[in-house]
């Protein structure tokens, strides 16, 4: 049975998609079979692998969740060991479709788990890339997931929003998925010379220790070259030509597993 890992933060630009695709790349180099479910209608997972989401897919996650389409009909191969279940534009209508029809969806958080459960038999790891929100879609991801990993950007105000995310996950566990395991949080887009980043990271570490949350030592430095590598290779950096740049994701994966 594969492990389902949800990457979540309610802020955009915190490197959710970059983390999901690069960790998938790390696992692919270990010859693990990986699926990435793109639960964000921005379709950035597909873009990372060089697809054109406007033309390349006839169906997407929406059809799986609400139209009983078999996920296997929707999944596409992105790399030797990586498949993706693409997002489609229709996903913007997911919340309204479900909330507007409580008779059909009495348990609105369980739709992904019910429609995608059998995929756990097909893959070693399933990553769920989430939209920057705490929405119905994210509730579905938290219900299907075994583990959740939180990237966060140590800017001013980000502590408050990080605390909110962590509290929401705690509440969610209690109410809906007691088996959900919070792997931890790690800082992204860090400029270590920036005093603010150092301060916010220290503050986060204190909060994490007090609240029994793991904060990883590995952090993702902010680099322009990293950001552009995707554009040139049409692959996440961990599978790209210049793999040294992506070492930090190999280190992160190692640290995640040291702890278990
Ligand atoms: N290490 C990095 N330093 C600077 N920018 C990065 C880095 N890694 C990725 N980026 C860029 O940052 C932007 C936001 O990242 P993304 O993963 O899409 O965030 P999210 O999915 O949380 O919205 C993207 O344009 C991405 O290419
Ligand atoms: Mg994203």
Q: Which domains does the chain have, with CATH numbers?
A: 3-258 (3.40.50.300)
Compute the distance between CA of residue 7 and CA of residue 150 in angstroms, rounded to an integer: 6
Q: Band of the pLDDT at 193, cuts 50, 70, 90?
A: confident
Left, alpha or beta for 157 (phi > 0: left; psi -120 to 50: alpha)? left
Q: How far is the CA of 196 from the centre of ligand 2 (A)?
A: 24
Give the ligand with the smallest distance to the CA of 11: 1
How high is the pLDDT of residue 241?
79
Residue 214 CB contacts under 8 Å (≥ 6 apart), including other chains = 182, 183, 184, 185, 208, 259
pTM for this entry: 0.96
To test the pocket of ligand 1, the residue of 39, 53, 129, 227 to mutate (highest count of ligand atoms within 8 Å of its CB) is 227
Identify the residue whose C-alpha is closest to ligand 1 atom 13: 13
Q: Residue 103 C-alpha to ligand 2 middle, in angstroms?
A: 32
Protein residue with its CA nearest to atom 15 in ligand 1: 15
- Using most ligand atoms within 8 A of CB, pick from 7, 8, 9, 13 the residue to mutate for ligand 1: 13
pLDDT at 35 over 70: yes
pLDDT tens, position by position, 140-191: 999 999 999 999 999 877 888 899 999 999 999 999 999 999 999 999 999 9
Relative to the CA of 222, which ligand 1 atom is closest?
A: 3
Q: Cβ contacts of residue 120 below 8 Å, gap of 6+?
A: 1, 2, 4, 126
Lowest-pLDDT choice from 108-117, 147-156, 217-226: 217-226
User: What's the confidence (pLDDT) of residue 233?
Assistant: 81
Q: Residue 178's pLDDT is what?
A: 97
Nearest-CA residue for atom 17 of ligand 1: 15
Ligand nearest to the CA of 39: 2
């Amino acid at each position: 049975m594969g492990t389902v890992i949800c990457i979540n933060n309610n802020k955009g630009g915190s490197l959710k998609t970059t983390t999901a695709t690069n960790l998938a790349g790390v696992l692919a180099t270990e010859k693990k079979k990986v699926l990435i479910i793109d639960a964000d209608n921005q379709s950035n997972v597909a873009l990372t692998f060089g697809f054109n989401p406007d033309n390349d897919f006839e169906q997407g996650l929406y059809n799986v969740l609400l139209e009983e389409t078999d996920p296997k009909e929707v999944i596409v191969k992105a790399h030797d060991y990586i498949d993706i279940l693409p997002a489609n534009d229709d996903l913007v209508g997911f919340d309204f479709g479900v909330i507007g029809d409580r008779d059909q969806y009495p348990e609105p958080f369980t739709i992904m788990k019910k429609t995608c459960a059998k995929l756990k038999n097909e893959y070693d790891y399933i990553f769920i890339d989430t939209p920057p929100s705490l929405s119905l879609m994210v509730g579905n991801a938290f219900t299907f997931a075994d583990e959740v990993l939180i990237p966060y950007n140590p800017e001013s105000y980000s502590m408050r929003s990080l605390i909110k995310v962590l509290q929401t996950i705690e509440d969610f566990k209690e109410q809906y998925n007691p088996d959900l395991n919070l792997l931890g949080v790690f800082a992204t887009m860090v400029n270590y010379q920036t005093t603010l980043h150092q301060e916010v990271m220290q503050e986060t570490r204190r909060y994490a220790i007090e609240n029994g949350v793991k904060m990883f030592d590995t952090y993702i430095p902010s680099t322009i070259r990293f950001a552009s590598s995707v554009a040139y290779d049409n692959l996440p950096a961990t599978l790209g030509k210049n793999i040294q740049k992506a070492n930090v994701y190999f280190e992160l994966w190692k640290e995640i597993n040291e702890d278990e």
